[in-house]
């Protein structure tokens, strides 16, 4: 049953150090896929898919400074432009509150952006509560991310930047974790294309995810701060750090409005293999969600 609760003050235990915060629940909606909740604490408004926020906040916005990035993973995802600074076409799988497509549209005023979101409720909430307003260059497609990728391959589309940012109430859906899916995504990338994937920095899936991405893309940049963001390229050769630094410098002043410190971001770029290379690659036949353990 669709339900909207207005201005109910609730106590919510968030995933921020396990501390209890008095949150104001301003929206609650049960969709076909999940519960979509919006909480506000002072000027900060957040979307969550569970009342106890087991995975954490899906998206957050400072309502007094809406361009300011609240969550670290969005800053790391924007660092994908340090690998390819001029993408002409972008695909984002997973909308959340629309932080990434909104910022990318501002930073890249001529770039075409496709956003795929499976849940119409998330699209509605992003527009109503997080100020997401697609412009003429931003198209929102309500579909399963993998279904869209397969369709895009049949249509021979290509993207210069693909961002994977799809989460359910626990983690990334299983069918978006496998080697077969990543191979499909790789085929959608242009010759200079870049993949940016938002994952967890600590879970029992970490080794398996890492070996799976490495099996498809070869070496990749690993950025870790709370979340982990993987940056990979179509080819097996990554741009060196000198190139990353030079590209980052181009965005220094532009990124200030989003409170992104480009020098701090560059220092996070690492190709160190900090995973067990013996971990089994995830496939469509082997992608067990019970490997995930948030306490690791």
**Catalytic machinery residues:** 165
Sheet holding 35-41, edge to edge: 8-13, 20-30, 35-41, 44-48, 59-62
Instruction: Give Cα 172 distance to the centre of its chain.
Output: 10
Host H or E run for residue 131: none
Instruction: Name the nearest CA neighbour of 190 among 223, 235, 222, 123.
Output: 235
Token pair for 66: 């809406």
- Rama region for 106: left / alpha / beta (φ>0; ψ in -120 to 50; rest): alpha
52 close to 37: Cβ distance less than 8 angstroms:
no
Alpha helices in 2-119 (DSSP H): 72-78, 99-107
State the pairing for strand pair 221-225/189-200. unpaired
Instruction: Say how many residues make up the chain.
Output: 296
Cα–Cα dist 281/275, whole Å: 12
Cα–Cα dist 145/154, whole Å: 14
State the DSSP string of 112-164.
EEEEEES-HHHHHHHHHHS-----TTEEEEES-HHHHHHHHHHTT--EEEEEE
Centre a 10 Å sphere on the Cβ of residue 128 and count the other Cβ atoms it contains.
Answer: 11
Token pair for 268: 């996070």
């Amino acid at each position: 049953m669709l339900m909207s609760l207005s201005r109910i003050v609730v106590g919510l235990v968030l995933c921020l150090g396990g501390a209890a915060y008095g949150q104001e629940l301003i929206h609650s909606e049960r969709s076909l896929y999940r519960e979509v909740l919006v909480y506000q604490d002072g000027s900060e408004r957040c979307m969550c898919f569970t009342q106890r926020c087991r995975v954490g906040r899906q998206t957050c916005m400072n309502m007094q400074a809406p361009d300011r990035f609240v969550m670290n993973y969005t800053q790391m995802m924007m660092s994908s432009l340090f690998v390819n600074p001029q993408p002409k076409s972008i695909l984002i799988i997973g909308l959340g509150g629309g932080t990434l497509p909104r910022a990318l549209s501002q930073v890249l005023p001529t770039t075409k952006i496709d956003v795929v979101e499976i849940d119409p409720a998330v699209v509605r909430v992003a527009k109503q509560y997080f100020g997401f307003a697609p412009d003429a260059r931003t198209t929102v497609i309500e579909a399963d991310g993998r279904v869209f990728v397969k369709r895009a391959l049949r249509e021979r589309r290509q993207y210069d930047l693909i961002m994977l940012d799809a989460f359910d109430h626990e983690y990334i859906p299983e069918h978006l974790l496998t080697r077969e899916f990543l191979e499909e995504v790789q085929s959608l990338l242009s010759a200079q294309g870049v993949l940016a994937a938002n994952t967890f920095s600590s879970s029992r899936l970490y080794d398996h995810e890492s070996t799976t991405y490495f099996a498809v893309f070869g070496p990749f940049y690993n950025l870790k701060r709370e979340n982990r963001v993987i940056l990979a390229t179509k080819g097996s050769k990554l741009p060196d750090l000198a190139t990353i630094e030079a590209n980052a410098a181009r965005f220094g002043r532009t990124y200030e409005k989003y409170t992104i410190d480009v020098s701090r971001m560059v220092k996070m770029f690492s190709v160190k293999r900090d995973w067990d290379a013996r971990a089994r690659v995830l496939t469509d036949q082997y992608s067990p969600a019970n490997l995930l353990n948030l306490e690791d």
